[in-house]
A = this chain, B = another copy of it.
Amino acid sequence: MSAPLQEDPSPGNERSTRTGPGRFQDVVEAALTLFAERGYLGTSMKDIAGLLGLRAPSLYNHVDSKQELLREIMVRTMNELLNSHRAVIATSADVVEQLRRAMETHVIYHANNPRDVRIGNAEIQNLEEPVHGEILRMRDEYSASWQSIIERGVREGRFDSPSPRLSSFAMLEMGIGVSMWFRPGGPLTVAQLGYYYGDMALRLVNAAPAAVGRAGAAMAGVVIPAQVDVHRS
């Protein structure tokens, strides 16, 4: 997603030409849009080529197969999400702050990358092995990290949850939902969105600071981690 537009100029890169509209990342970008809109099976190589002003067979100068495009999108997305998550929970030892920041990062990522996230959640069954299994393992790791944060908070007496597993599922899921309706330029900024959802996460485990105030409440002290970039195409 955030890869530079110019291709790696090293001579070992034999998959892409150096110029023109058909470079690998451009094909991925077109696939990202179309897979998200119509689904993997609902998108043909002809469609992707059309978005780039090409004929379908020309894509195979840059891409091994349609499956490779799905693989690239899913692996990259899950890596970005996991890395952002790991980085942000390392910024505090306080479990309340960890949960709040994890939710902010989670929601901001989903708001900024709706196409990737939609594909990631809708097309798992169309991903072939071994990547299919790898993605499932990464999702498990992500989910397990959330659960362990909540479990630790309960152990430390900071959280109240009848089931850390259910609490973590609820938090993850409500954040994923953001990718389905959030549009930049609306009444809410991405940062505000993150703040509200961070607050909701704390409420879910009864760790919320008293009341949060009305919509538009000041957001002093909110830290948007640097790892989460806010651009989108």
The stretch that binds B, out of A15-23, A55-63, A193-201, is A193-201
Chain A residues 25 to 58 lying within 8 A of chain B, measured CB to CB, are 37-39, 41-42
Chain B's closest residue to A213 (CB) is: B162
Compute how far the CA of A169 lies from the CA of B199 in the bound complex, rounded to whole angstroms. Answer: 14
Chain B's closest residue to A125 (CB) is: B38
Q: What's the tally of chain A residues with a CB closer than 8 Å to chain B?
A: 39
Q: How far is the CB of A74 from chain B (nearest CB, A)?
A: 16
Find out whether the CB atom of A42 lies under 8 angstroms from the CB atom of B126. yes
In the bound complex, residues from chain B placing their C-beta under 8 Å from that of A42 are 41, 125-126
- The answer, among B160, B169, B174, B199, for a CB contact under 8 Å with A212, is B160
Compute how far the CA of A200 lies from the CA of B161 in the bound complex, rounded to whole angstroms. Answer: 9
Contact with B along A167-199 (1 / 0, CB 8 A): 101111110111011000000000001001101
Question: Is A67 on the interface with B (CB-CB < 8 A)?
Answer: no
The stretch that binds B, out of A75-83, A202-210, A220-228, is A202-210
**Protomer copies:** 2
Find out whether the CB atom of A204 lies under 8 angstroms from the CB atom of B206. no
Q: How far is the CB of A178 from chain B (nearest CB, A)?
A: 8
Q: How far is the CB of A166 from chain B (nearest CB, A)?
A: 5
Question: Is A217 on the interface with B (CB-CB < 8 A)?
Answer: yes
In the complex, 17 of the A-B residue pairs with CB atoms within 8 angstroms, ordered by the A residue number, are A38-B125, A39-B39, A39-B41, A42-B126, A160-B211, A162-B199, A162-B213, A163-B196, A163-B215, A166-B196, A169-B174, A169-B177, A170-B174, A173-B173, A176-B177, A203-B206, A204-B204
The 9 closest A-B pairs by CB, nearest first: A173-B177, A41-B41, A170-B174, A174-B174, A173-B174, A162-B215, A163-B215, A162-B212, A203-B203
Q: A169-B174, A170-B174 are in contact. List 9 more A-B contacts (CB 8 A).
A: A37-B125, A162-B214, A163-B215, A169-B181, A173-B174, A173-B176, A173-B177, A203-B203, A204-B204
